[in-house]
Amino acid sequence: MATLKQVAALADVPILTAYQALSGSAAVPQAQRQSVLAAAEQLGYTLHVTIKDVAALAGVSIATVSYALNNSAPVSAATRQRVLEAAAALNYRPNVNGRTLQANKTRLVGYGWHDVKRGSSASFLDRFTYWMAQAVESYGYHVLTFAHSEESPTDAYRELIQTNRVDGFILAHTNRNDVRIRYLMEARVPFAAFGRANDRWDFPYVDVDGRRGVELVTEHLIELGHTRIALIGWPEGSLSGDARVQGYFDALDAAALPVHSAWVRRAENSSAAAAAAAAELMALPSALRPTAIACVSDLMAIGVMNYLNSRGIRVGYDVAVSGFDDEPIAELVHPPLTTLRQPVDDLAAQVVALLMAELERIPAPQRQILVAPQLIVRASTDPKRQLP
């Protein structure tokens, strides 16, 4: 590709005039405009301002332009001025790909989508992605998203890193023995996760303190005077699920309240399974029947509420119900649901900060961070909050 300077020379006009004629950024006498257009046509030139053009206009070498623009070497005030003016006049923006190739750094962070099943709580992660993009950009990076299959998720990660598409990754939806984490650790690829895996692996992550969250809501229920408090958790074995259940025990222990084994039920994360668990709880003899049911997800809490409603049991008055996640639905259901909100923006910013520490090889003060969720009290536990 020819340069702007060559086009200008052929048309016998100043470089700046050639630029203006081609870009339409300023009026140019018709005759000059014509000859510039003809010259560009002849050379097969399409407007792409490069560092060479800026150098030519400023009358300096391309190295000097680079120095002046990046402050990467001392440049006299006068030349700097000339360079900046030339760059501005040509509306110059450096082509990141040149820089990428030379530095062997893409300033791109990979983020893999798993397949979001219909009805699963995706909205939270959606907002996470937004804040992640935002946070990453504050460091001059961008997010490259990709879809990975459930069967062999590591393939996509390996491919992206081997082809130098990205500098590192951010993971969400982690699980114990997450193959992606294992691969990235072994391959020494920089990454940071939103979510834990297991206690053996040492990698940078940020997670919601689910234990603390359920503890908070249980304390809230105790304060309201409940003494027979039930919990519907997920089947044992998930790190975050078990932590949430632990918070329930911790709060009851601290208050020296009795825990009856029949009060702790396990169910899949679906409203139907939670409704069934609620039915079992309500079938307990009246002396044991709970007056409050804490759930480890909003989805489950809604199942419980549906069941109670269908049995004519008034949620909030007769039985208190709480969830976890503060999904958009939580304030739309009837009565609005008490729940725990994850501070998404904060979580995203922190996980990005961890990744940046890895990428820039800055030792982070802390590689594992737990963030406490925020208790949002609504009418499902506290009828005083009921709207008229």
Partner DNA sequence: CTGAAAGCGCTAACAG
Partner DNA sequence: CTGTTAGCGCTTTCAG
Positions that interact with DNA (CB under 7 A): 1, 48, 50-52, 59-64, 66-67, 69-70, 72-76, 78-80, 94-95, 97-99, 101-104
3-state SS string for the chain: CCCHHHHHHHHCCCHHHHHHHHHCCCCCCHHHHHHHHHHHHHHCCCCCCCHHHHHHHHCCCHHHHHHHHHCCCCCCHHHHHHHHHHHHHCCCCCCHHHHHHHHCCCCEEEEEECCCCCCCCCHHHHHHHHHHHHHHHCCCCEEEEEECCCCCHHHHHHHHHHCCCCCEEEECCCCCCCHHHHHHHHCCCCEEEECCCCCCCCCCEEEECHHHHHHHHHHHHHHCCCCCEEEEECCCCCHHHHHHHHHHHHHHHHCCCCCCHHHEEECCCCHHHHHHHHHHHHCCCCCCCCCEEEECCHHHHHHHHHHHHHCCCCECCCEEEECCECCHHHHCCCCCCEEEECCHHHHHHHHHHHHHHHHCCCCCCCCEEEECCEEECCCCCCHHHCCC
Q: Which is nearer to a copy of itself, 176 or 343 (CB)?
A: 343
Min dist CB 153 to DNA, Å, is 24
Residue 52 interacting partner from DNA, a copy of itself, none (CB closer than 5 to 8 Å by kind): DNA
Residue 152 interacting partner from DNA, a copy of itself, none (CB closer than 5 to 8 Å by kind): none
Residue 191 interacting partner from DNA, a copy of itself, none (CB closer than 5 to 8 Å by kind): none
Min dist CB 309 to a copy of itself, Å, is 7
Min dist CB 290 to a copy of itself, Å, is 22
Min dist CB 262 to a copy of itself, Å, is 27
Q: Which is nearer to a copy of itself, 57 or 333 (CB)?
A: 333
Residue 121 interacting partner from DNA, a copy of itself, none (CB closer than 5 to 8 Å by kind): a copy of itself
Q: Which is nearer to DNA, 66 or 218 (CB)?
A: 66
Q: Which is nearer to a copy of itself, 229 or 302 (CB)?
A: 302
Min dist CB 143 to a copy of itself, Å, is 5
Alpha-carbon span 107 to 86, nearest angstrom: 27
The single-letter DSSP state of residue 64 is H
Binding residues (CB under 8 A) for a copy of itself: these are 48, 91, 93-98, 100-101, 104, 106, 108, 111, 113, 115-116, 118-123, 125-127, 129-130, 133-134, 137, 142-147, 159, 162-165, 271, 299, 302, 306, 309-310, 328-329, 331-332, 334
Q: Which is nearer to DNA, 63 or 116 (CB)?
A: 63
Residue 183 interacting partner from a copy of itself, DNA, none (CB closer than 5 to 8 Å by kind): none
Residue 201 interacting partner from DNA, a copy of itself, none (CB closer than 5 to 8 Å by kind): none
Min dist CB 140 to DNA, Å, is 12
Min dist CB 5 to DNA, Å, is 12
Structural tokens at position 176: 């114990």
- Angle among Cα 103, 107, 108 to the nearest 5 degrees reads 135
Min dist CB 49 to DNA, Å, is 8
Q: Which is nearer to a copy of itself, 147 or 287 (CB)?
A: 147
Q: Which is nearer to a copy of itself, 221 or 308 (CB)?
A: 308
Q: Which is nearer to DNA, 30 or 163 (CB)?
A: 163
Phi, psi (rounded to 5 degrees) for 299? -55, -45
